[in-house]
Amino acid sequence: MRRFSTLLLCAATVMAQANNAEQGEPTHRPSIGLALGGGGALALSEIGVLRWFEENHIPVDAIAGTSMGSMIGAFYATGKTPDEIEHLMNDQAITQVFRLNPDFRALSYRRREDRRWAPNALNVGLRHGVSLRSGVLIDSGLNSFLSQNFLAYGSDLPFSNLPIPFRCVATDIAEGKEAIFRDGSLVDSVRASISLPGIYSPAEQGEHLYVDGAILENLPTGTLRSELHPDVVIGVSLPLAPMEKGQGNSILGVLQRSFSVASWGNELRSRTLADLVLQPETTGMDTGSYTKTKELVAAGYASAEKQRSALLRYRLDDAEWAAYLAHRHSLLRPAPRLLAGATVTAPSPALRRAVEKSLVPITHQPLDLKKVEDKMDDIRSDGRYDADYAVVVKPSGSAQTAQEAQLNVDVKDKSAGPPFLLLGADLAAQSGVPARATLDTAFLYQDFGGFGSEFRARVSAGFQTTVGTEYYRRITTAGFFVAPHFDFNRMPVYIYSDQDRVAQRLSQSAGGGVDGGFTFKRSSELRVGWQERFQRWKTDTGTDGQADFSGTSQWAGVRYRIDDQDRALIATHGLRAQASAGYLYSTVNSRNAPKVDFAGSYAFTAGKGHLFSMGLEAGSLFGRNVSDPFRYTLGGPSRLSASAMDEYRGTDYFLIRPAYLHRIASLPAPLGQSIYVLAMYEAGQMRAPNFNTVTRQDGYLGLAAETPLGVLTLGPSIGDDGHRKFIFTLGRFF
């Protein structure tokens, strides 16, 4: 009986060892688990630890990660080398991941119009009362980055079957407890773990709402031990940085410090569960130092070197290391090559059908994530919906065989709206001239009256009072639309003679019309329309020798606009232009007149930090004598800057504006804004019946800075005939 029991015990031992060998667990050495803690940019130091491990043949048999550590750990667990991980965390990736607003090029044409009109606008949702978005940063860039880099691991798979078994930690604020991700989509799991409260919106999965795992377990040594059972646990723990001077003087600073202290408290407890703790020295760097990847990687490498003697006891010889790498490589999953189909979930049948139709050209084709991302941008471009996707790998006979994939697209309503309210401001000031400042508000209700249609109302109050409303009714999904509109405008108008202000008038108009047209993808629009307006032109002070009047005016014509530039602030490349041709008729105190005008700018980059822009404007009423309210104007910032705003009025004009911008500073992501030295030359001419032709030229030299409040410009302009102005603007640019 004893012999039989002994035989059973031996057999069980052999079977257990065989099973361990199949799972890649070491049978002749202690298994090593690595716990990678969070810490924002400081967690990039963990790449250096991994590099030291590889150079010294220290195997990693299990990984658990929290927050940024979950991303680094997931990269390594799915087969990326430390060099590849460091390369991934480049400036381009940081810019993609950390964004305050969607890329301008990813916006629909109408949303580009809104961004131009109010580049500093605060977006307020009105669906459930007044609400702002739940994260400072948008997550579309982050989701795209994760999807691109975990393409083969977006389906439902056990994380224990990765090349290195893996776990990541998040905090479920709906249930008030820690969440450990063991399987499913690696993209969704890492996204949940790095959802820093207030920075990114929580990751929503069913009834669960996940935020950063650092709240409850910043160093996941406990998770590593309880889930993956390594013999040895090594933790990479990032020290609590000293409190910054003045950090306690702001709400944001206090919240940030409080979060760091709370995370540090649970990290100290987690350290006690590690057999060995590595502590990278990150003095002079902080959680936002994403541009210091090389320095942080070096700090992590140095922390492992400092513990060299303790680590080398786990070193493998060359043959063992080769076998270890071979086993990891055998578990890699190839990226799928073919997109076999797509499924769509959406809030309405019309939207679902539209999205399904848009995906037809890329299904049953080689999988191209760039095309998939473009389709997601199309869905998000109008600001009405959120859209995410998952690439689900279809099972095949072998893990090493390229597989087909299914695209699952999830389209959701924005939680805050519509309707939305945009709040912004604009300021233009010149020495010796009244400043023009307005508070700008836009009310936007998308899908009002039908899918793809919208109601938009804009109100500006201040120097100028304007109200403009338009109902944009989409006729076909191809892009045809009809748009009735109404507007009101009231503003003071200063009349000049030889740089002297001789009169102040009140211009007041109201009217409406209807346009029909076609929107070409995201960048351009063609309209044909008619409008009628009532105009009042009244003297307030002084005299310009012209009579007061009031009456109606009508215009009919065609207009084409294109905005293919890369930024709403200071463009680095692309064309923005508007051209119109029409006929002005039945106009009070004026002759009937054809009217043709053009305004455009083209920007391009020549070498690092060197931007060039060429602006051109021209308009003609063909010398017809129309009254002042219907004439063109010149003068003011970027339109003959050394002259007063709207100093010249006439029926035919042109303006050329070449500019050079040299970048002298750039802010880190997510701000990503730049400061430039701006040099600009302007030349223009204005003609009018019975008036002398005016030709002016001037130069401007100053600063142009991109800020969250818009573009700030500051500097002097000197022109001919004694024209000089000092200029300050904040808001719109060119």
Q: Where in the chain is the domain with CATH 3.40.1090.10?
A: 32-100+140-331
- Specify the pLDDT at position 142: 86
Tell me the three state secondary structure of residue 539.
strand
pTM: 0.82
Q: Decide which of 506 and 245 is more confident.
A: 506
Per the rule left: phi > 0, alpha: psi between -120 and 50, beta: everything else, 449 is left
The DSSP code sequence of 616-658 is EEEEE-TT----GGGSEEE-STTSSTTS-TT-EEESEEEEEEE
Q: Which of 45, 67, 674, 717 is catalytic?
A: 67
Q: Where in the chain is the domain with CATH 3.10.20.310?
A: 338-413
CATH 3.40.50.300 corresponds to the domain 338-413: no
- Specify the pLDDT at position 287: 77
Q: Decide which of 116 and 196 is more confident.
A: 116
Backbone angles phi, psi at 69, to 5 degrees: -65, -30
The count of residues in the chain is 734
Residue 328 has pLDDT above 90, yes or no: yes
- Specify the pLDDT at position 256: 67
Lowest mean pLDDT among 202-211, 219-228, 507-516, 528-537: 202-211
Q: Name the class of domain 32-100+140-331.
A: alpha beta
**Two tokens, residue 724:** 């000089």
Task: Yes or no: say if 558 and 526 are a contact pair by the CB < 8 Å rule.
Answer: yes
- Specify the pLDDT at position 11: 40
- Specify the pLDDT at position 672: 61
Q: Where in the chain is the domain with CATH 2.40.160.50?
A: 420-731
Structure confidence by residue, pLDDT tens digits, 680-710: 999 999 999 988 999 999 999 999 999 888 8
Q: Verify whether residue 717 is a known catalytic residue.
A: no
Backbone angles phi, psi at 42, to 5 degrees: -60, -25
Question: In angstroms, rounded to a whole number, what is the distance separating the alpha carbons of residues 218 and 200?
Answer: 17
Q: Per-residue confidence at 575, pLDDT binned at 50, 70, 90?
A: very high
Structure confidence by residue, pLDDT tens digits, 471-495: 999 998 888 999 999 999 999 999 9
Question: In angstroms, rounded to a whole number, what is the distance separating the alpha carbons of residues 677 and 611?
Answer: 10
Q: Decide which of 216 and 524 is more confident.
A: 524
Rg of the Cα atoms in the chain: 32
Backbone angles phi, psi at 148, to 5 degrees: -65, -35
Options 3.40.50.1010, 3.50.50.60, 1.10.10.10, 2.40.160.50; CATH of 420-731? 2.40.160.50
| Strand positions, DSSP E, 394-523 | 404-413, 420-430, 433-446, 454-462, 465-474, 480-497, 500-520
Residue 657 has pLDDT above 90, yes or no: yes
Q: Decide which of 529 and 392 is more confident.
A: 529
Mean pLDDT for the chain overall: 89
Sheet of 338-345: strand order equals 365-366, 338-345, 404-413, 385-393
Task: Yes or no: say if 685 and 706 are a contact pair by the CB < 8 Å rule.
Answer: no
Q: Per-residue confidence at 396, pLDDT binned at 50, 70, 90?
A: low
Tell me the three state secondary structure of residue 731.
strand
Question: In angstroms, rounded to a whole number, what is the distance separating the alpha carbons of residues 102 and 453?
Answer: 21
- Specify the pLDDT at position 250: 61
Alpha helices in 153-196 (DSSP H): 186-193
Question: In angstroms, rounded to a whole number, what is the distance separating the alpha carbons of residues 222 and 37?
Answer: 12
Residue 7 has pLDDT above 60, yes or no: no
Residue 713 has pLDDT above 90, yes or no: yes
Q: Verify whether residue 212 is a known catalytic residue.
A: yes
Residue 5, H or E segment:
helix 2-22
Question: In angstroms, rounded to a whole number, what is the distance separating the alpha carbons of residues 466 and 508?
Answer: 10
Tell me the three state secondary structure of residue 163.
coil
- Specify the pLDDT at position 233: 96
Which residue shows structure tokens 């010889």? 317
Residue 257 has pLDDT above 80, yes or no: no
CB contact set of 583 (below 8 Å; sequence gap of 6+): 555, 556, 557, 592, 593, 594, 595
How would you classify the pairing of strands 454-462 and 433-446? antiparallel
Q: Which of 61, 114, 188, 212 is catalytic?
A: 212
| Strand positions, DSSP E, 543-688 | 549-563, 574-585, 593-605, 610-620, 632-634, 648-650, 652-666, 674-687
- Specify the pLDDT at position 590: 94
Task: Yes or no: say if 36 and 46 are a contact pair by the CB < 8 Å rule.
Answer: yes
